[in-house]
Amino acid sequence: MGAERATAMIQGYDPRTGEPAGEPVAETTDEEVDAVASATALPFGIWEGLGPAARAGVLDAVAGALDARTDDLVAVADTETALGSGRLSGEVARTTGQLRHLAGALRDGGYLDAVASGPSEGVPGLRRINRPVGPVAVFAASNFPFAFSVAGGDTASALAAGCPVIVKAHENHPRTAELTARIVAGALAGAGAPGGLFAIVHGVDAGIRLLNHPAIAAAGFTGSRRGGFALARICAGRPVPIPFFGELGSVNPVVVLPGAADRDAEAIAAGYAASLTLGAGQFCTNPGLLFVPDDARLPGAGLLSAIAAAVDATSGGPMLSERIHHGFEAAAGELEAHPAVALLATGKPGDGPWAGTPQAFRTSLDEFAAGLPGLADERFGPAGLVIAYPSVDDLLPVLAGLGGNLVGTVHVDTGSPADVAAARRVTAVLARTTGRVVCNGWPTGVAVTLAQHHGGPWPATTAPAYTSVGAAAIRRWLIPVAYQDFPPDLLPDALRNISP
């Protein structure tokens, strides 16, 4: 860790052309990483001490500052991601909505879980409350340059909890990250937050050094399984291990039940094609596996042909980076070369050197089961595998044998008793193997609400009890402490006036 490194530069690229997008940003040096990590101790105490209402006001101020610079943020992000101004301005709004949602959770106070018991005969009086775990390292994602990046959900929830935050920017959008960080830092200072509460670092080495720094108490990550597992190992192997909240890749199985397939083939096919190709398929909630009833009795007339037509009508788009595009091409090529898999449909190629072309493949349930786990690997991009199942009885054990996923979906004709009965069984399996089960919808789109759970069993996440979206995301950065037999004036404010 202590070896000298020459200052390297991080260059963003325009996915529409493959050419450099603006000036490069310098990697953060070891000394700079150590300086910002060490500087969190003082602001931690001050920020925690401000209390939830004051912190809520500061989060609102950050949200307002980002909203006011939406046009500038979208412009720089569009050159680095090619996600388009519609999506990107929506994502800024989602990001600031998220900050305000967490400010609301602070004002509500339920996140403190303040609780009292005793005293009674022979039993001491106990008062328990949640407090911030300490300085948090946040690893930004490539595919959400705002909502899961510098000012995204991890940062917002950690700041809300009372923790200082150091963000490791994603290499694909360094200038977007820098601009966001400048706006956030300015808004924090203007709203009275302590200096050193928030910082940004650039570069993979800087991120690893940050994760190993003794000042860091927990880390949040959104990204690939490979990256997430590597960082999880670092956290577990530190002299003082720290919790690591990794939200990783997922293939999000969708089950179409027979009644729904009969009744809603066109709508399901259209919804699937839209969800599969949204954002060039670059979502961890992408519907990578679609299970449909085996429709051999009606060749060409059923759901499969509707899906083929819908996917044929889609268009691809520039992917976020050369590396992501290369990975997608390799994964889709592997699928195409698989002896048990056939190409079902191909959309129009998108523009630019890194365009991902939508593709749907098909196989049978038996072949799919024989090809596990490889056939259930995530293919980050607009490629889906459609699996024809002969019966729900056959489907259930295969579904149960998939690894953990973020989302599971069931399409059911609620007017069909057979479909409803089958939906119960499918839902029971999905509720054990995914973090969120969707009925008659699609997995893409993650609402920022109180009841959201964006998580899931390993390997969808490294910490299945937690969510990275919604008010409950704050829980990742909290630990309880109990006070036994304390006089009220020595208790924290929030514990003084509660009753057993």
Q: Which residues bind a copy of itself (CB under 8 A)?
A: 115-118, 123-124, 126-128, 131, 133, 233, 236, 240-243, 403, 412, 414, 420, 423-424, 427, 431-432, 434-441, 445, 447, 449-453, 455, 457-459, 462-465, 467, 472, 475, 478-487, 489-490, 492, 500
Checking DSSP bridges between strand 9-10 and strand 25-26, what pairing results, if any? antiparallel
Residue given tokens 């106070």 in the structure block: 109
The nearest distance, CB 476 to a copy of itself, in angstroms, is 9
Question: Of 68 and 458, which has the nearer Cβ to a copy of itself?
Answer: 458
Q: Annotate 183-216 with b (16+ C-beta within 10 A) or e (fewer).
A: bbbebbeebebbebbbbbbbbebbbbbbbbbebb
Instruction: Specify the residue, 301 or 450, whose C-beta has the smaller distance to a copy of itself.
Output: 450
Choose, from 32, 247, 266, 439, the residue flagged as catalytic.
247
CB closer to a copy of itself out of 177 and 472: 472
Do residues 462 and 436 lie in contact, with contact meaning Cβ atoms separated by under 8 Å? Answer: no
The residue annotated as part of the active site, out of 32, 284, 322, 378, is: 284
Instruction: Compare residues 25 and 471 and give the one whose CB is closer to a copy of itself.
Output: 471
DSSP-assigned beta bridge partners for residue 216? none
CB of 329 vs a copy of itself, minimal distance in Å? 29
**How is 145-198 classified by DSSP, letter by letter?**
TTTTSTTSHHHHHHHHHT--EEEE--TT-HHHHHHHHHHHHHHHHHTTPPTTSE
Min dist CB 370 to a copy of itself, Å, is: 20
Task: Give dist(CA 129, CA 122) in Å, integer.
Answer: 23
Separation of alpha carbons 491 and 500, rounded Å: 15
Q: CB-wise, 85 or 449, nearer to a copy of itself?
A: 449
- Is 284 a catalytic site residue? yes
d(C-alpha 404, C-alpha 112), whole Å: 30
**Integer Cα distance of 362 and 342 in angstroms:** 5
What number of CA atoms fall less than 13 Å from residue 197's CA on the CB side?
31
β-strand pairing of 115-117 with 126-132: antiparallel
**Residue number, 301 or 431, with CB nearest to a copy of itself:** 431
Interatomic CA distance for residues 151 and 138, integer angstroms: 10
SS3 463: coil
**Residues 6+ away with beta carbon under 8 Å from 75:** none
235 catalytic residue (yes or no)? no
Minimum distance of a copy of itself from residue 40's CB (angstroms): 14
- Least Å distance, CB 33 to a copy of itself, is 22
Burial class of residue 492 (count of CB atoms within 10 Å of its CB; 0-12, 13-18, 19+)? middle
Q: How far is the CB of 381 from a copy of itself (least distance, A)?
A: 24
Report residue 466 CA to chain centroid gap: 12
CB 37, min distance to a copy of itself, A:
17
Q: Which residues pair with 126 in a beta bridge?
A: 117, 484
Distance CA 266, CA 272 (A): 10
Q: Which is nearer to a copy of itself, 263 or 475 (CB)?
A: 475
Catalytic residues: 247, 284
